[in-house]
Structure 1
Amino acid sequence: MTTDRPEFERVRTMSALTDVEELLGGVEDAVAALFATPCEVVTAWNVASLELGVSCGDRALFEALHAYLGSHAGPASGGRPDVELTFVVSDALAGRLEATAVRLPGPQPAMISYCTTEKGSLPVEHWRAGRATLLRTLKTRTWLLADESYSRLTFVVGDDYPLRPTVHKDLALLILHVLQRTLEARGQLQIHASAVVVDGQAVLFAGPKRSGKTTCFLDAIVRTGARPLSVDKVHLAEDAEGTATGRFQVFGIPTRLRVLAGTLQKYPGTWDAFIPEEYRGAGEERLWRGESDSKVSIPLTSLRAVTGEDFTLRAPLGMIVLPDVARGRVPLLREVVDPLEVAELMRPNVYTPDNPEEDWWSGIGGHLAADLRARAEAFLAGIGATVPILRLEGAERIDHLLQEAWRRLRSGATGPTEAEPIGAPRS
């Protein structure tokens, strides 16, 4: 983390609900009464270039929020926030919202998802009334109220919500939804990729599930000395100043780190505490199968405890690596220079309405769809001429391949090569 732990302050404030008075009727009175007690936490963060103003009425919920966002939060500028987030814990207010929803016309279904095949989907219903949006998660009855620009948002949950085991997952998905929508409305692209920083430049590991993105990410930071930037998603913003370091700036996005137990066993003594008992000492055949139940979630704060490194918050894009890590794969690096091949390999990793991993377009983000499609195609057509695109194939000890990629990043070397030992890896 790059900022000191925010201190708790006692304040009295109105929430973002005041902007949706037409929709909620007398609900704002209830919010004012709740925040009349000295229990709110107030802080400001900069996450992925967005200034966030955060107000939270419950310390346990703030702890969950801080555990999720804190690793990617930099110091705020002190100016007016781009997005104001208010978190309210109240059975009474949640009940009022339920009663309000009954009186509204039928809701529209949608899905907020970061991984449709790995239990990472969050089904929601949403209503629109005037300039306001009301969104409700179906599994846990979390409420999100937003103004027209998604710049003032209020989350409402029941009294027992902060203690539920799903709080981190649900909260993460809703916050990710807000970040994604806001950043894309500002002209950025979200890429399904892990990322590290080498010599001040961002290297993306982009590819489909089970291609080896997390393996490359962990090998890079544990064995080659790269610095972590993001574990599963990044946002790219065009560099308006046209600096010599490249056309795009890469911003890390906080997401859950979920990794196969077999991957963790590659680093004995480092991640042992996170490996489920039944997978400790499991045979190679079982570990390479990559059973979904063997995936474990690791808090991002634990990553620093293991590696000793904080997350870098942003860096200019220097290289994209497309991994294909599979058992028995012969180690090989080659540069992808054909623009059609670059577009074919990268397109599934650029989040647009055509990417099935994100289904919030069906009702929530539809107004951004056409613009984002055009933006994505322009990016895919030109990215190969902007930075090197490398295809990485291998199995175990791919840190040798990564060291070769770092050499190419520094020297601009191109062409296919087989990996050779490159010195002793860092343990």
Structure 2
Amino acid sequence: MTRTQQLLADDPLWMILLKVVVLFAIGVVLTLVMINAERKVVGRMQQRPGPNRVGPGGWLQSLADGLKLAFKEDIMPVMADKRVYFIAPVISTIPAFVAFSVIPFGGEVTIFGEPTVLQLVDLPVGVLVVLACSSVGVYGIVLGGWASGSPYPLLAALRSAAQVISYEIALGLSIVGVVLYAGSLSTADIVGSQSSGWYFMLLAPSFVVFVISMVGETNRAPFDLPEAESELVGGFHTEYSSLKFALFFLAEYVNMVTVSAMATTLFLGGGQIPWLPSLWDGFNSGWFQFLAFIIKMSIFLFLFIWLRGTLPRLRYDQFMRLGWKFLVPISLLWILTVFAIRALRTSGYSLNAVLILVGIVLAVLLVIAFLVPDRRGPVEQTVEVASDYPVPPLDLRVPAPARHKLRTRSVDASAPPEAALSGASTSPSGNAGENHDV
């Protein structure tokens, strides 16, 4: 049993309850800060002030929005499945907080005279717990869209299901290299294995794939297809209001914090900064590691905001193509490369020889990829249309509607001109006859 596991096993009950309350508070507070920071940063990118009314500098605007949602009318659609409609936001929110339990926020500290570690629990399969929580959380989105009894939330739920299947594979494959080098699925062991260097430099392809996949996993722009307001009104939460809508919002931002914390743990060494403890021993303390962890995690949270304010939303086919045709094959190829490097190094080959061999293999693959002929045939010439709106393909022929002939109607010659113009005829009794339909 490691030192971390021993300290966590000796935690008294009050310490465990305190950690649970603090983790919940961290998730809620970071959500409020993130919402306001996102609105301010995006406003700055768009040359506008953003929230600046409620509280000092407008930083209490998120709290005011949360209180407003709590007092709004709770509307339930007539066609909704009431039980599933009610429980879906809860299913989305709970796994997001559960994933916090295995994140190592710092090293060993002393709280009220009791030595402990800034982590709730250290499981041998902590990485799999985070992946499982992110997979279960999407069930809330799927059930919420299905239970709303409306077509647009249902379409968003189907998109979310396809999205999590596509990007969960790439996300899991990107972690394989980290697990191979760390030799463990425990998050604390992975952080400890990076005491001499971070994995984001050693496993750069895994890091890039993980960052792209975590944006797709959290349904954030430019991958926010389940919430595409230009296509699906509001997405899976269109029919939700009041606190149920607030729970969906909370789950989204807590998931952002969770995957950012996971990226920090896997690739940035958690709260460790390898070269600083040589300057001063205080940099190796648990509280300083907690501060370093929050700063590293904030970098990834800012990346979410930056992408939202910079990139447009992808089309659905582009989004699926990126996941299945690029991220998954690249991850598989990189895993094979990592296996080959480790096998050659254990066989006694030098690192330079291994890198030269890997470079030759990658160069051959790139040459083959460029030399493969394109068998899609000649590209059809496009016709320029004087419009910015999308037009249907040129081979789409819409059949012309059948032309109906007008039936002629006889008008009595002795009838007045007004009756002739209106198509009415005079009956023998002197009353005007009924008009015939055309």
Q: TM-score range by the shorter chain?
A: under 0.3
Using structure 2 for the length normalisation, give the TM-score: 0.27
More helix by share: 2
More strand by share: 1
